[in-house]
Amino acid sequence: MQDKTLAQVYALALGAVLVLIGIAGFLVEASFGVGDSAERGTLILFDINGWHNVVHLLSGIVGLAMAGTAAKARLFAIGYGIVYVLVTILGFIVGDGGLLLQIIPINTADNLLHLAIAVSGIAIGLASPAASPRRTATA
């Protein structure tokens, strides 16, 4: 891990957590209803359903895939940060207990977590170099 940038560690950690949450989410609520027929379950404090679980799985897989290089991890951190800013704004517009895009259940806890992911992703991405640090030889 010494030769990894902060963005690479972030992409790896967030990716792994999202994959695990996506898998665990299917044990709680696996339905794929939309609109008025959309079901919702609660995992810890967060609203989920099958669609939300798929988003977590796909996001996590992308994070894991992009953690391999400094440039890709930086792009992931900043890009997902920007996406999560938009998701947070839409989530607060939809409101507690609403459906994002008429398929993904969302609550205030989700919105606050999305905001934290947005801010941390952008900050970590901007603070990370686009290239991996070079290891210096020690005698």
pLDDT by 10s per residue, the chain, length 139: 678 999 999 999 999 999 999 999 999 999 999 988 888 999 999 999 999 999 999 999 999 999 999 999 999 999 999 999 999 999 999 999 999 999 999 999 999 999 999 999 999 999 999 887 665 545 4
- Beta-carbon contacts of 20 under 8 Å, excluding residues fewer than 6 positions away, are 60
| Interstrand relation of 104-106 and 46-48 (parallel, antiparallel or unpaired) | unpaired
pLDDT number for residue 19: 98
